[in-house]
Amino acid sequence: MKAHVHVMLKNGVLDPQGEAVRHALGSLGFDGVEGVRQGKVIELDLADGTPETTIEQMCQKLLANTVIESYRVEVL
């Protein structure tokens, strides 16, 4: 079984990488981009039947810094 964990900075947390991307897009002529938030997707290949609570524990302990990041689990 596969799961995707989508990790993003929480609203209100500065995102310097996102700001750099927004600036670069403007420099390349892509007008109208008012904001960019950059995150990450972690793909997990898990044993069949792995409970979603186990994936949540992985996120809480390692995959996301829950002080400044939020996450969403998508089981495929």
> Tens digit of pLDDT for each residue in 32-41?
999 999 999 9
Distance (Å, whole) CA 6 – CA 39: 7
Token couple for 51: 């409970």
pLDDT digit string, tens, across residues 7-30: 999 999 999 999 999 999 999 999
CATH of the domain at 38: 3.30.1280.10
What pTM was computed for the model?
0.84
Q: Please report the pLDDT score of residue 59 as a whole number.
A: 97
The residue range of the domain holding 69 is 2-75
Domains held by the chain: number: 1
What's the chain look like in SS3?
Answer: CEEEEEEEECCCCCCHHHHHHHHHHHHCCCCCCCCCCCCEEEEEECCCCCCHHHHHHHHHHHHCCCCCEEEEEEEC
- Average pLDDT in the 43-65 region? 95
- Average pLDDT in the 39-54 region? 95
